[in-house]
Amino acid sequence: MLFRNRTTQAVSIPEAVGKLKKALSDADAVVIGAGAGLSTAAGFAYSGERFDRYFSDFGAKYGFRDMYSGGFHVLRLPSEEMWAYWSRYIWINRYAPIPRDTYDRLFALVRDKDYFVLTTNVDHCFQKTGFDQKRLFYTQGDYGLWQCSVPCHEKTYDNEGTVRKMVLSQGFAIEADGALTVPEGTTLKTTVPTDYLPVCPVCGKPLTMNLRSDDRFVEDEGWHRAAERYQNFLRTRKGRVLYLELGVGYNTPGIIKYPFWNLTERNPEATYACVSFGDAAAPDEIRDRSIPIDGDIGEILERMKESE
């Protein structure tokens, strides 16, 4: 269905939290749609202090001031320097501890519900928090996986071991919990050894990140199994379903936002809820069964927990 008009409901945060809590309590099933805003609320900042802590040397050398811009800039550099940057990037955004407990708050609210998670995030936070892996669909990839850059075959490869060696070779230390630190007096290197560069075991071309950016993205067996489980969940859950959207904007609305609107519109017992700064709205067609909340996700989840 084509939705033409969107409405933001003018309700107070306490009233909205109360409605969301009731919708969650009443729901027979919950479909969570998670976007970048959820991980931002969990502390995954890509600029500021976090950038300075891990990438100040790259920033001073090349003039960029955030991880996202840096990720594009280093693609033009020699592979040894590019992977020095990306190995740091992967480690702190995939293997290091989650900065805040936002995901824990969410899990505490839904762990006893019949839930499924669809996410465009690639940071593995749901698995690290304890969400059932068979109830997750990471549709856009995973920082923890590599694929052939061609690609010559539809398979992905875990990268933790090689990424660990890369960051250690630059002078970092990795704590027992996975935190990345710089020993006192250490001057970090901005290259990795050539023999650490990842290559495809089939064709010998470079491996690259398994992140959806163009038509070369590899959808491996695990991806297809997760997609099938997600579609099966949608087919078999009827009645009071809560479509809970967290931190989803309009960069790729066709993955989570628009499908959630349509699913809610087709099921008269369903409820649509979204929590986001600036993008909390719902189509007029489902306005009476929508809970748009313009606010901080971490704060909203904490309020729900406190009101139990």
User: CA-to-CA distance for 206 and 121, rounded, in angstroms?
Assistant: 24
Structural domain includes residue 184: yes
Provide the number of structural domains found in the chain: 2
Whether residues 264 and 170 share a domain: the answer is no
Residues 134 and 190 in one domain: no
Residue range(s) defining the domain that contains residue 262: 6-41+100-138+237-306
Residue 12 scores a pLDDT above 90: no
Average pLDDT over residues 127-140: 98
Q: Are 35 and 248 in contact (CB under 8 A)?
A: yes
Q: Which range among 103-107, 215-219, 283-287 shows the weakest confidence by mean pLDDT?
A: 283-287
Instruction: Look at residue 56 in the predicted model and tell me its pLDDT.
Output: 96
For residues 164 and 295, membership in a common domain is answered with no
Q: Which two tokens stand for residue 266?
A: 């087709």
The string of pLDDT tens digits covering residues 178-219 is: 999 999 999 999 999 999 999 999 999 999 999 999 999 999
Give residue 279's pLDDT band: very low, low, confident or very high (50, 70, 90).
Answer: confident
This prediction's pTM: 0.95
Closest to 178 measured CA to CA, from 55, 93, 272, 297: 93
Is 172 in the same domain as 92? yes
Residue 177 and residue 279 share a domain: no
Q: Judge whether 221 lies within some domain.
A: no
Q: Is the pLDDT of residue 97 over 80?
A: yes
Average pLDDT over residues 71-84: 97
**298 part of a folded domain:** yes
258: confidence class by pLDDT, cuts 50, 70, 90: very high
119 domain-assigned: yes
Q: Which of 2, 256, 277 is nearest to 117 (CA)?
A: 256
Residue 36: band (very low, low, confident or very high) from pLDDT cuts 50, 70, 90: very high
CATH of the domain at 301: 3.40.50.1220
Last residue of a domain, one of 197, 213, 248: 197
Burial 100-122 (b: 16+ CB within 10 A, else e): ebbbbbbbbbbeeeebbbbbbbb
Residue 220: per-residue pLDDT: 98
Q: For residues 116 and 177, state if they share a domain.
A: no
**DSSP label of 131:** -
Residues 105 and 191 in one domain: no
Model confidence at 242, pLDDT cuts 50, 70, 90, reads very high
Q: Could you say which of 147, 179, 197 is where a domain stops?
A: 197
Q: Looking at the domain assignment, is residue 121 inside a domain?
A: yes
Peptide bond into 151 cis (omega under 30): yes
Does residue 241 share a domain with residue 114?
yes
Percent residues over pLDDT 90 in the chain: 90
Q: How far apart are CA 64 and CA 131, in angstroms?
A: 35
In a domain, 154, yes or no: no
The pLDDT score that the predictor gives to residue 6 is 67
Of the candidates 39, 40, 83, the one whose C-alpha atom is nearest the C-alpha of residue 58 is 83
Instruction: Render the burial of 153-189: b for 16+ CB within 10 Å, e for the rest.
Output: eebbbebeebbbebbeebebeeeeeeebeeeeeeebe
Q: Which residues contact 143 (CB under 8 A, 6 or more apart)?
A: 89, 90, 93, 94, 122, 123, 124, 209, 211
**175 pLDDT higher than 70:** yes
Domain membership flag for residue 91: yes
In a domain, 223, yes or no: no
Same domain? For 300 and 185 the reply is no
Give residue 10's pLDDT. 55
**55 and 36 assigned to the same domain:** no
**Paired tokens of 158:** 């875990």
Judgement on whether residues 250 and 279 belong to the same structural domain of the protein: yes
Residues 191 and 90 in one domain: yes
Averaged pLDDT, 293-299: 93
Given a cut of 60, is residue 2 above it in pLDDT?
no
